[in-house]
Copies of this chain bind each other. A is one copy, B any other.
Amino acid sequence: MIRRFAFGSPLETGSVVHKPGLFDGELLYFKKDGNVLTFRMTEDDIVYGLGENVRGINKRGWRYVSNCTDEPHHNEGVVSLYGAHNFLLVDGYGHSPVGIFVDTPSQVFYDVGYTRSDILEIRAGCDDMEIYEIDGESPGAVVKEFREIIGQPYLPPKWAFGYGQSRWSYFSSDEVREVAAKLQENHIPVDSIYLDIDYMEGYRDFTINRERFPDFEELVSEMRRQGIHLVPIIDGGVKVEEGYEVCEEGVKNGYFCKDENGENFTVGVWPGLCYFPDMLNEDAARWFGRKYQFLLDKGIDGFWNDMNEPAIFYSGRRLARLFEKMAGAGRRTGADSPKESDGPVIAGGAEEPDDPVTADSSKEPDGPGTTDSPKEPDGLVTTDSPKEPESPVAADGLGKPAVLIGERDLRPSDIGAYYEIKTMVEQMEKNPEDYQSFYHNYRGRRVRHDRVHNLFGCYMTRAAQEAFEELSPERRILLFSRSSCIGMHRYGGIWMGDNSSWWSHLLMNLKMLPSLNMCGFLYTGADIGGFGCDATEDLLLRWLALGIFTPLMRNHSALGTRRQEPYAFEHTDAFAGMIGLRYRLLPYLYSEFMKAALRDEMYAAPLGFVWIRDEIARRVEDQLMIGGSIMIAPVCEQNAAGRVVYLPEEMKLVRFKGSALTEESPLPAGHHYIPVALDEVVFFIRRHHILPLCPGGGNTERMDWGGLTCLHFADAGDTYELYEDDGISREAALEGHIRILSPNLDKPE
């Protein structure tokens, strides 16, 4: 049952599309005191949810902040990533499973047993919000209720389930052709190649760099003839430039976000100084969405929206302030002790458990006020004890007023000035003050950005998808975003942002999947192999063994990192085999995805959603159900030759070496050590379940979708519901038909 509450004057976020009437009464499970909700947890309570975030499937033992943040440090210490997904689900023995959704477009702070191990506290950043409290018979039932009110997830075209190859960047038409050719030469199936920011002319949205891509349109159709879709990136900021049509139109029509004086607010992003389109302004959003036509007209049918938290490298005014400060330091004002920085001061907020997160929730890797880099010297750190504010540079010469260094002297005041400049530089990016300094026109109201911060990426993506519905009424367009909030799941998918080539991020990829599914995001996946840092072959192979089960399956890596295309390593055959297996599994994966999307179910579920009273299953953080038939248990540890898998019930192990089936072994319930070689994929079929397999092929267009065989652990009478559609038309996605498959018991594959 869903109970809806409204407090203050909530701003309509668009997250919920099927609103029940307001509930006349109190919250049943949570206590509300002002803008704080609390829930007392018992030891057996598992807290699911929060979508895209760090730590476990079970979110207990940390704090989080819903505050869309350009955060490349996906480590245990962060509190916010790119999305704001305010849904939690508590499942324990003393109460019905209960979900809570806080519908507000500004920050929400979560303390999930961080301060006190038994207290779950949710603190909204403002008083205006709607709250939905949902209980049901099982965790899955609660999710289903929630998903029903937030609406059906975005349905991508079937080709978006193929393998995607990406890098920041493929720098020219020739390089794109080379990537396609090398994949094909090596028999590696591929459906899409991604274009990162360098396909644009100076990072200007809706332009093509004609020096690098002189034949862009021809490249698009040439690739399409090979069954490959090019997927360009679109950024959230528009370059400030005379003569750049997008900028001039936006200025002329007042479509950009304004500062407090009504001037267009300037920020620095990739292109240099930029304006932010006011994605919350319906006219501006419609205008921006229609801009995608520039690329649709060139044959493009897929996009990824980036930098739409929105990311800010600097604001124009903050940069100007830095230059004033530097000019002062350069002129030697002669101040002999450090002055207050005019940037925000970092507070050592962690000392006060009742205010767990400071205003700047877009925090540095190690928690607010934490020093994870060399301790700050001298009096410049905030202390939590009666530390003397010593003058750090009281006398730094030996009998001289200054120390002569090379050609010039270094004065006592310089060291203080250096730390001031350093602090200003470090606080230049994504500065909270900047997010409080510009305004939207939302339904005719002037709203300060920080009040609606978490909507920006969502509304950018919504603008694009709503344009696609007009511009491409027949065919589905691929669209996913970096930033998101609940509601955006109806308009596009998300990728999991700028992760690293770390084994811990492979595991984080797995953990985020079910958390996102609960929040409506089904079309998702991480940058396979890792975006930052350097990948190794073993990491990429193990990551693919998970990635072949994620709806978005894309290998992406950053400029300056080791090449990460499957042909860049030694055992190209292993990659061809593993990606080939993805294509063999597509009938099942697409079917399970579509059924989950259309039926408001989980595509990737924690074991605790299926075996809800199995104490071991409930705490498994490295295995998942993928659809109804299979359980996966990827190897997530470097140099491991296998792993221990927990089977909550008897299951059939199936082993593939590359795309070839090599073993089927029924196993009893319990823990099993399973050897898994680097070029193998092992997963488990549930009793009475069936897995359709097709022969696969080089991409979704050319492959053989027929000729299905069934792997199964079934008896006569057990069946599988296969969802099928044409994979591209919008209606078909909603009207796809179900075919009932029986196990071909007498014809094992």
Closest to A417 in B: B323
- Is A128 close to B, CB under 8 A? no
Asked whether A172 and B386 contact (CB < 8 A) given A396-B272, A405-B266, A533-B366, the answer is yes
Interface SS of chain A: helix, strand, loop or mixed? loop
Given contacts A395-B242, A559-B381, contact A319 B369 (CB under 8 A): no
CA–CA, A55 to B410, complex, Å?
Answer: 42
Q: Is the CB of A638 within 8 A of B55?
A: yes
In the complex, what residue of chain B is closest to A318 when comparing beta carbons? B405
A375 touching B559, Cβ below 8 Å? yes
Is A343 on the interface with B (CB-CB < 8 A)? no
Query: With A77-B532, A116-B570, A385-B171 given, is the CB distance from A56 to B638 under 8 Å?
Result: yes
Query: Which residue in B320, B373, B619 is a CB contact (below 8 Å) of A406?
Result: B320
- With a cutoff of 8 Å between Cβ atoms, the chain B residues found around residue A570 in the complex are 116-117
**Given A240-B397, A366-B500, A560-B348, are A377 and B639 neighbors across the interface (CB < 8 Å)?**
no
- Closest B residue to A211 by beta carbon equals B388
Please indicate the chain B residues that have their CB under 8 angstroms from the CB of A407 in the complex: 320
Q: Complex Cα distance A143/B95, Å?
A: 56
A2 beta carbon closer than 8 Å to chain B? no
Q: Check if A644 is an interface residue, CB within 8 A of chain B.
A: yes
- For the complex, is A97 an interface residue (Cβ under 8 Å from B)? no
Q: Are A62 and B425 in contact (CB under 8 A)?
A: no
Contact B273 A396 (CB under 8 A): yes
Which residues of chain B are near A408, meaning CB under 8 Å? 320, 323-324
* A620 → B minimal CB distance (Å): 9
| A311 partner residues in chain B, CB cutoff 8 A | 374
0/1 string, A399-420, CB within 8 A of B gives 1? 1000101111110001101100
A536-B61, A538-B117 are known contacts. Are A641 and B615 too (CB-CB below 8 A)?
Answer: yes
A313 beta carbon closer than 8 Å to chain B: yes
**CB < 8 Å: which of B46, B212, B326 contacts A330?**
B326
Question: Are B415 and A268 within 8 A (Cβ)?
Answer: yes
A407 to B323, CA, bound (A): 12
Q: Is the CB of B378 within 8 A of A320?
A: no
- A168 on interface, CB distance cutoff 8 Å: yes
Question: In the complex, what distance in Å separates the CA atom of A248 from the CA atom of B502?
Answer: 49
The answer, yes or no, to whether A573 is at the interface (CB within 8 Å) is no
On whether A61 and B538 interact (CB within 8 A), knowing A386-B172, A561-B350, the answer reads yes
CB distance from A119 to the nearest CB of B (A): 10
| B378 lies within 8 A of A272 (CB) | yes
Question: Are B319 and A375 touching (Cβ within 8 A)?
Answer: no
Binding stretch for chain B, among A5-13, A67-75, A449-457:
A67-75
Task: State whether A317 touches B203 (Cβ < 8 A).
Answer: no
- Report whether B370 and A561 are in contact in the complex, using a CB–CB cutoff of 8 Å: yes
From B76, B169, B369, B410, contact of A500 by CB (8 A): B76
**What is the bound-complex CA distance between A646 and B73, given in angstroms?**
33
Closest B-chain residue to A373, C-beta based?
B72
Residues of B near A314 (CB, < 8 A) are 418
**If A558-B371, A640-B619, A641-B619 touch, does A377 touch B422 (CB 8 Å cutoff)?**
no
Q: Are B372 and A500 in contact (CB under 8 A)?
A: yes
Copies in the complex: 2
Question: How many residues of chain A get a CB closer than 8 Å to chain B's CBs?
Answer: 146
Do residues A639 and B367 form an inter-chain contact, with CB atoms below 8 A?
Answer: no
Q: How far is the CA of A247 from the CA of B406 in the complex (A)?
A: 21
Q: What 1/0 mask marks residues of chain A from 64 to 103 whose CB sits below 8 Å from any chain B CB?
A: 0000001011011100000000000000000000000000
Q: How far is the CB of A633 from chain B (nearest CB, A)?
A: 12
A644–B322 Cα distance when bound, in Å, is 55
List residues 557-573 of chain A with CB under 8 A from any CB of chain B.
558-563, 570
Is the CB of A428 closer than 8 A to any CB of chain B? Answer: yes
Q: Which residues of B contact A562 (CB under 8 A)?
A: 350-351, 353, 367
Interface residues in A42-59 by Cβ distance below 8 A to B read 46, 55-56, 58
* Contact flag A399-B242 (CB < 8 Å), given A58-B639, A388-B211: yes
A323 surroundings in chain B (CB, below 8 A) = 329-330, 408, 410, 414, 417-418
Tell me if B395 and A241 are in contact (CB < 8 A): yes
Question: B residues within 8 A CB of A536?
Answer: 61-62, 113-114, 117
Chain B residues, Cβ within 8 Å of A240: 396-398, 403
Nearest B residue to A388 via CB reads: B211
Q: Which of A612-628 contact B (CB under 8 A)?
A: 615-616, 619, 621
Tell whether A197 is near chain B: CB-to-CB under 8 Å: yes
Q: A366-B532, A407-B320, A619-B641 are in contact. Are A171 and B272 (CB under 8 A)?
A: no
**What are 22 A-B contacts defined by CB distance under 8 Å?**
A58-B638, A76-B502, A175-B385, A198-B387, A240-B403, A266-B410, A270-B378, A272-B377, A272-B415, A313-B374, A323-B329, A326-B326, A326-B327, A326-B421, A330-B330, A348-B559, A350-B561, A366-B533, A367-B534, A369-B560, A373-B429, A671-B671
- 6 closest A-B pairs by beta carbon, nearest first, are A327-B330, A330-B330, A369-B560, A372-B532, A348-B560, A171-B385
